[in-house]
A and B are shown apart, each in its own frame.
Chain A
Amino acid sequence: MSISTTGVLARPRTADARPDPPAKKRRPPDLRRWISPVALVLLWQAASSTGVLPPDELASPVTVARAAVDLAVDGELGSAFAVSLRRVAVGFVLGAAAGLALGLLAGLSRWSETLVDPPVQMLRTLPHLGLIPLFILWFGIGEEPKIALIACGVAFPLYLNLHSGIRQTDPDLLEAARVLGYTRAERVRHVVLPSAVPQTLVGLRIALGTAWLSLIVAEQVNADAGIGHLINNAREFLRTDVVVVGLLVYALLGLTTDALVRGLERRVLRWQTR
């Protein structure tokens, strides 16, 4: 028996060290992964310098960088950026409010689900970017159709993921909560909503991706300000350098929001770290 006793005693000791999970080791960035991207940029520059790639088809990296600096210095880039950012922000907030509210309603009440879910499921089969003509007819060509388009792109993925996240709540956990005497409000707050969070974050990522896409499409169709306007203007004057700068800004915005969501996921889902 003495052997097994030490076996029993040894367990808690190792377990006690566990509440502080060892800090995740960050791997040093693998510099080799930069070889081919840098080579491609150099190749691009070489093709431009030797005239293989004419500037009215694609400006050289150096020209693009210079254009970026010029646009930034005279404030044009900043103001265009602000206009586009505001469109996305307003559209996102409106769409998120609608998507989350409807998702909660449908997820938490059977009756609301019966009423809300069928039309939403039907509408989501419409490709929302195809709604532009209607939105222009309804809202004119100002900010409203762009914001409406972005809001639509945001609302659907959030609704669908929040709703299904709520529906996927583990019935065993709900049952346990009931035995333990949780009120309905406590069950929603501590069981249902937290278990829907991971799925909702997936929806958030999709929603942000769609928001940027909607912005770009809406700004291509008509815009008197913003990054899209900058790009369209540049096209008329064959300024491919400015076009590329605009595209890079779009990409940068997308990357930034993605990083924000990933940061949010790490924070909100820290209970998942084993």
Chain B
Amino acid sequence: MADPVITSAVRVRGLTRTFGTRRVLRDVDLDIAGGEFVALLGRSGSGKSTLLRVLAGLDREVRGEVDVPGTVSVAFQQPRLLPWRRVWRNVSLGLRGVDGRAVAVKALAEVQLAGHAEAWPLTLSGGEAQRVSLARALVREPDVLLLDEPFGALDALTRLAMHALVERLWNTHRPAVLLVTHDVDEALLLADRVLVLDDGHVITEHRVDLARPRDRGSLVDLRAEVLADLGVDRETT
């Protein structure tokens, strides 16, 4: 079955994950090309985080084929910074063979936090901590960047700023991205492709062939389609 030439950043075939008697992922197939931006939508409990953990190599008790040949980095829903290490150390820890401090300060500048390099993580606001977490993921120059609802806890204004930031960073570094989100608009604004996961299964896939940066007006039709896939009849926002 294995492809002789690996062109994709992520290749998953027939992935099944069972907790006890519950099959949380059922026979999932997923391909992400190098540099592609994919958004993964789905209701709460549909198995998004489970899939992401499998791709990150944090969960190996699965059946099926999972192939992620390159380096992987993750930004979690919670920033998960080490509170006892200064911000720049959080960004650079685990890196090898580089001047950690210089690299970290540069990455922090990319998320507009250069001035906070010496700060303790607990003094950061939620949005700032999330940006540090993003810088920490990007500084590893991953081939695959996994984002698990990284903006879930942020206010609407900060989210807008973060969308622009992620788009810019993705443009600069071009990792393959899998963005897990609840937010249809977020998915459509950022992704090349939007997948909908339902009950452990990828039920649909939408291409978003629109030039970036996108404005919400051009997304109305797609939005209605995706919302229908998610089982939402009436627009709520």
Binding site for B on A (CB under 8 A): 4, 7-8, 11-12, 15-16, 18-19, 21, 172-173, 175-182, 186, 190-191, 194-195, 197, 270-274
Contact = CB atoms under 8 A, between A and B. Distances in A.
A232 to B, nearest CB: 47
B58 A271 contact: no
B161 interface: yes
A21 B94 contact: no
Given A180-B140, A271-B120, 8 more contacts: A19-B116, A19-B118, A173-B80, A175-B58, A179-B56, A180-B93, A271-B84, A273-B122
Contact of B82 (A178, A181, A190, A270): A190
A271 B93 contact: no
Nearest to B87: A19
Interface SS of A by simple majority: helix
B123 A179 contact: no
A181 B78 contact: no
Interface stretch (B21-29, B69-77, B179-187): B69-77
Contacts of A179: 56-58, 72-74
A182 B56 contact: no
Interface SS of B by simple majority: loop
B85 to A, nearest CB: 6
A16 B113 CA distance: 9
Contacts of A177: 94
25 contacts: A8-B157, A12-B112, A15-B116, A15-B124, A18-B119, A19-B123, A172-B80, A175-B80, A176-B80, A178-B58, A179-B72, A179-B74, A180-B140, A181-B94, A181-B140, A182-B93, A186-B94, A190-B82, A195-B84, A271-B84, A271-B85, A272-B83, A272-B122, A273-B122, A274-B122
Nearest to A16: B115
B9 to A, nearest CB: 16
B148 to A, nearest CB: 11
B74 A15 contact: no
B236 interface: no
Contacts of B93: 180, 182, 186, 190
A180 B116 contact: no
A133 B74 CA distance: 59
Contacts of B119: 18-19
B205 interface: no
A273 B120 contact: yes
A9 to B, nearest CB: 10
A179 B137 CA distance: 9
Interface centre among A12, A173, A191 (most CB of B within 10 A): A12
A19 B115 contact: yes
Nearest to B139: A180
B76 A18 contact: no
A195 B124 CA distance: 19
A88 B121 CA distance: 39
A79 B83 CA distance: 46
Contact of B84 (A11, A15, A186, A194): A194
